[in-house]
Amino acid sequence: MLALTTGITWLLVGNVNKALNIGIAISAVKTVIYYLYERTWDHITLSMPP
C-alpha cells in the first residue's frame, strides 16, 4: 500500500523525495486511524440473541 500511495503521489507531485515523505506520513495516519477504529469497536457491545 505504501508503494501505491507513493507512486500516485509521485505522479501528482513530480518529486520522489516529497512523494516518499507524503507516502510514509499517509501510511502512519492510516495505521493510527485503523488502531482507533478497532479500539472503538472493541468497546461497543452488540446484544445478539443466541
Blockwise average pLDDT, block size 10, the chain, 50 residues:
93 97 96 97 80
pLDDT at 12: 97
pLDDT at 48: 74
Q: Which of 21, 17, 23, 16 is nearest to 1 (CA)?
A: 23
pLDDT at 3: 94
pLDDT at 50: 65
pLDDT at 43: 87
Rounded distance between C-alpha atoms, residue 19 and residue 25, angstroms: 10
Residue ranges covered by each domain of the chain: 2-42
pLDDT at 10: 96
pTM over 0.85: no
Contact call for residues 28 and 22 (beta carbons, < 8 A) = no
